[in-house]
C-alpha cells in the first residue's frame, strides 16, 4: 500500500514538473505586470468588460478565472492582439515569459 502511494506521488510529481515547464510563478508576475491593467476582475478593466460583453456570462470575464484557455490561444492573442488589445513584442514579453503566462492561465481551472 505504502509503495503504491509512493509510486502515485512520484508519478504525480513527474507529470506536474512536466506540465509546469512554463513556470506559472513567473507567469503570474509577468501577467500582473502586462495583463491585469486590462484583465483584472471588476468593472474598471477594458479587457474584462469586453470579454463580459463577448461571452455574456457564459464564461468568466476575468482571464485568471477561465478554465477553457489553451496555451496556443493565449500565445496567439498576446502576439497578435485583438481590437484594443495591443500585440506584445518579444522585447516586451519574451517567449519564455509568454510560455510562463500561458502556463499560469491554463492552470487556473485545476487550481480552484
Residue 82 beta carbon to ligand HEC: minimum distance, rounded to whole angstroms: 5
Identify the burial level of 30 via C-beta atoms within 10 angstroms of its C-beta, where 0-12 means exposed, 13-18 middle and 19 or more buried: buried
Q: Which long-range contacts (CB under 8 A, 24 or more apart) does 2-10 make?
A: none
Q: Which is nearer to ligand HEC, 7 or 55 (CB)?
A: 55
Please state the length of the chain.
112
Q: Which is nearer to ligand HEC, 78 or 103 (CB)?
A: 78
- Rule CB under 6 A: which residues touch ligand HEC? 34-35, 37-39, 46-47, 50-51, 54, 63, 73-74, 77-78, 82-85, 88, 93, 101
Residue 68 beta carbon to ligand HEC: minimum distance, rounded to whole angstroms: 8
Q: Which is nearer to ligand HEC, 20 or 60 (CB)?
A: 60
Residue 11 beta carbon to ligand HEC: minimum distance, rounded to whole angstroms: 31
Q: Which is nearer to ligand HEC, 14 or 82 (CB)?
A: 82
- Report CA dihedral (110, 7, 18, 29) to the nearest 10 degrees: 50
Distance separating alpha carbons of residues 65 and 83, to the nearest angstrom: 21
Amino acid at each position: 500500500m505504502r509503495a503504491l502511494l509512493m509510486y502515485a506521488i512520484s508519478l504525480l510529481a513527474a507529470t506536474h514538473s512536466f506540465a509546469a515547464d512554463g513556470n506559472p510563478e513567473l507567469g503570474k508576475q509577468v501577467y500582473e505586470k502586462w495583463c491585469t491593467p486590462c484583465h483584472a476582475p471588476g468593472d474598471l478593466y477594458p479587457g474584462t468588460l469586453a470579454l463580459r460583453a463577448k461571452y455574456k456570462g457564459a464564461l468568466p470575464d476575468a482571464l485568471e478565472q477561465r478554465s477553457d484557455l489553451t496555451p496556443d490561444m493565449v500565445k496567439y492573442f498576446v502576439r497578435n492582439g485583438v481590437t484594443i488589445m495591443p500585440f506584445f513584442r518579444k522585447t516586451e514579453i519574451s517567449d519564455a515569459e509568454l510560455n510562463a503566462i500561458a502556463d499560469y492561465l491554463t492552470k487556473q481551472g485545476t487550481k480552484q
